[in-house]
A and B are shown apart, each in its own frame.
Chain A
Amino acid sequence: GDSVTQMEGPVTLSEEAFLTINCTYTATGYPSLFWYVQYPGEGLQLLLKATKADDKGSNKGFEATYRKETTSFHLEKGSVQVSDSAVYFCALSPIKAAGNKLTFGGGTRVLVKP
Chain B
Amino acid sequence: ETGVTQSPTHLIKTRGQQVTLRCSSQSGHNTVSWYQQALGQGPQFIFQYYREEENGRGNFPPRFSGLQFPNYSSELNVNALELDDSALYLCASTFLQGMDVTGELFFGEGSRLTVL
Using a CB–CB distance below 8 Å, which chain A residues touch chain B? 4, 32, 36, 41-46, 49, 51, 89, 91, 93-107
Partner of A99 from B4, B41, B56, B109 at Cβ < 8 Å: B56
A99 and B107 contact, CB distance less than 8 A = no
Interface of A is mostly: loop
Do A51 and B43 contact each other (CB < 8 Å), given the known contacts A44-B90, A98-B50, A100-B33? no
Alpha-carbon gap, A106 to B43, bound state (A): 8
B66 within 8 A of A: no
Nearest-CB residue, chain B, relative to A51: B102
Number of interface residues of B (CB under 8 A): 30
Residue in B40, B41, B56, B105 whose Cβ sees the most chain A Cβ within 10 Å: B105
Q: Name the B residues within 8 Å of A43 (CB-CB).
A: 3-4, 90, 107-110
Partner of A107 from B42, B45, B48 at Cβ < 8 Å: B42
A sample of 6 more A-B contacts (CB under 8 A), given A43-B90, A100-B103, is: A32-B101, A43-B4, A51-B102, A93-B102, A98-B50, A104-B35
